[in-house]
Structure 1
Amino acid sequence: MAHTWNVVVQLFDADDIETEGTETTAHAVLTTSSGTSLESRGTARRNPDDPEVPEIGEELATARALRDLADQLLRVTSDDISQIEHQSIHLRR
């Protein structure tokens, strides 16, 4: 039996008028085969003195969103196990 879980990452870029840099936001949504979903956001800000390489901001924002998504999934899993075991469970990263 195979199950498919999907992660969709949407990226948004906006100019930061105050710093004259660029801010990239990643919005990640995990949807399980049973329809459960988790979502998170990550951001990256380009310093105006740095060269403009959009892929770097996208990578960093996505990594931060996915890290948060993974942490959420660990908390949900820990809570599910705790309910079954009737005691507090803490999973390691």
Structure 2
Amino acid sequence: MQNDATWHVDLGIREDGTDTGANAALRLPEGTELKAHGHAKRHPDDPVQNRVGEELAAARALNDLARQLLRKAAHEIEEATHVPAHPHP
């Protein structure tokens, strides 16, 4: 049995001076929506490299989203098996 799926992550990034924030959202096929946030702060003495702040904030938001998805999967495994689940990242 083959089951193909496509999931889309919405990722928004905002910059305000030395602060960069990223918000990620994932809507799963059954309707669950996961939301995550990432943040990066540039030291005032560092050169302005907007892309680096965006990459750090986005990576942190996506990392948070991945951890939430792993917790959700573990919970669903535990509900089905009644055994503690520890899926590997």
Same structural fold, with TM-score higher than 0.5 when normalized by the shorter chain: yes
Which amino acid in 1 is paired with 2:82? H
Relative to the length of structure 1, the TM-score reads 0.87
Q: Distance in 1 between the 2:46 and 2:59 partners?
A: 20
Q: State the AA in 2 paired with 1:35.
A: G
Contact 1:28 1:40 in 2 (8 A): yes
Q: 1:24 aligns with which of 20, 35, 42?
A: 20
Q: What is the CA–CA distance in structure 1 between the aligned matches of 2:76 and 2:31, rounded to whole Å?
A: 16
For the aligned residue pairs, the C-alpha RMSD in angstroms reads 1.1
- Secondary structure of 1:3 counterpart: coil
Q: Deviation at 1:77? A: 0.1
2:36 equivalent to 1:37:
no
For 1:33, what is the secondary structure of its paired residue? coil
* Moved >3 Å (runs of 4+): none
CA contact (8 A) 1:41 1:68 kept: yes
- Compute the displacement of 1:13 (Å): 0.9
Cα deviation, residue 34, structure 1: 2.7
The equivalent of 2:5 in structure 1 is: 3
- Percent identity of equivalent pairs: 43
**Aligned counterpart, 1:57:** 53
Q: How many residues align?
A: 87
CA offsets, 1:29-48, max 9 Å, x none? 01122322101000000111
> Scaled by the length of structure 2, what TM-score is found?
0.91
